[in-house]
Amino acid sequence: MNPQHRVQFQILPRGLFVLMLCIIPAQGHWWAVVNEGDAGKISSRNVPICDRIEGLSRNQKTLCKRYYNHMSFVSEGAENGIKECQHQFSGHRWNCSTVEDSSVFGRVLNIGSKEIAFTYAIASAGVVHSVAKACKRDTLSTCGCSRKKRPNGLHQDWNWGGCGDDTDYAYGFAREFIDARERDNLSPRGQKEKARKAMNLHNNEAGRMAIVRGTRPACKCHGVSGSCSLKTCWFQVPDFRQIGQNLRQAHGIAIEMRMNKKGQIRPRNLEHGKPTSTSLVYIESSPDYCKENLKTGVPGTRDRVCEKDSSGNNGCGLLCCGRGYRSKPVDVVELCKCKFQWCCSVKCQKCHKVVIKHFCN
């Protein structure tokens, strides 16, 4: 039986049985830390807040108390991951929409699809990215500038010694904290639960490795009048938008997996080969994102804004799944008549404008 559902029987007065299908909500998740609002409260030795975050597993709550000063960066990383997910899938039938509970993404999280694989990876990447930069800023007492050795191929006249992002520490912390949720589930009951645990762990790692593998030397010029006679270099994590694009590409070629008799996940199609450390993997086909489905938590695309003349994913043809669309005038507010004020600001007025927008039927 699908783990999202529970069957109950109710006896009616005449002795008739009615089969009732109860929808079980998705379990809370660690990235629900973003729902705390003021993440600064998490990093101020306010230990009880770790027990109040519904999405944390048992070991994650323990780690939250131990690394209380890290949790604001966990929150920041998760939030960046969710925002990047929504950017990468903006205009698609599945647009990484969230709900207001501790699962963040709702019951659709229960499906081991390649879209959910992306959410695990991008959130994990967000934590590594955020913690690595916090180390560089000397915000955390347990880490600091990167201690990686000078890379091969760097120009011999360039100095190696700038303060780099500490991806080694950030990777280690993120692995301990994020994977603790899966480690708490020591003995998954069925084959599907075992496969889902392996899927989650792999995609968590893929997100972390996207940051580690993407880190490159960055250099700054020194010299009189910008002559750049000297350069100082260090390791720097990539812009998070680039990480989002890389993982979005990995989503497009994600590998479908299955559980073998040894309890390991292997590619369903052997021609795909073994997944790499940055590949995304999934165990279930994606649901139909066109129509609302209460059982799976899919919101559907009804009433979504679409582009009438676009042939892409955001076009009314694809986004509305052939149901058509309706158009109506919408009043929008825009900044206008902007003027430069001495010194040194720009002041604008707010203008109302009526535009025609299109909505999926």
A 10 A CB-CB count for 43 gives 19
| Residue 2, domain member (yes or no) | no
**295 shares its domain with 312:** no
Same domain, 214 and 336: no
Q: What is the pLDDT along the chain (361 residues), one digit of tens a residue?
A: 334 444 343 444 444 444 444 555 567 788 888 876 554 555 555 567 888 888 899 999 999 999 989 999 999 999 999 999 999 999 999 999 988 888 889 899 999 999 999 999 999 999 999 999 999 999 998 999 988 888 888 888 788 887 899 999 999 999 999 999 998 887 777 888 889 999 999 999 999 999 999 999 988 887 766 677 788 889 999 999 999 999 999 999 999 999 887 777 889 887 777 899 999 999 999 999 999 998 899 999 999 999 999 999 999 999 999 999 999 999 988 888 888 887 778 889 899 989 999 999 9
Two tokens, residue 333: 């507010």
- Residue of 159, 152, 137 lying closest to 222 (CA atoms): 159
Residue 185 falls inside a structural domain: yes
Residue 241 vs residues 7, 56, 86, 87, 102: alpha-carbon distances, Å:
44, 27, 12, 9, 26
Strand ranges in 260-344 using DSSP code E only, listed in sequence order: 265-267, 281-282, 305-306, 325-341
Looking at the structure, do residues 204 and 346 belong to the same domain, yes or no? no
Beta pairing partners, 281: 255
For 321, the domain range is 307-361
**Residues 277, 128 within the same domain:** yes
In 3D space, the residue among 27, 220, 250 whose CA is nearest the CA of residue 121 turns out to be: 250
CA–CA separation, 11 and 49 (whole Å): 43
In-domain check, residue 40: yes
Residue 14 lies in a domain: no
pTM attached to this predicted model? 0.86
Contact 308, 318 (CB under 8 A): no
User: Tell me, what's the pLDDT at 303?
Assistant: 95
Question: Residue 316 belongs to a domain with what CATH number?
Answer: 3.30.2460.20
Q: Is residue 9 part of a domain?
A: no
Q: Same domain, yes or no, for 204 and 109?
A: yes
Residue 33, SS3 per DSSP: helix
| Inside any domain, residue 254 | yes
pLDDT for res 328: 93
Helix (DSSP H) and strand (DSSP E) numbers for the chain = 8, 11
* Coil vs helix vs strand at 166: coil
How far, in Å, CA of 174 to CA of 181, rounded?
12
Dihedral angle, C-alpha 45, 46, 51, 54, nearest 10 °: -110
Give me the pLDDT at residue 20, please: 44
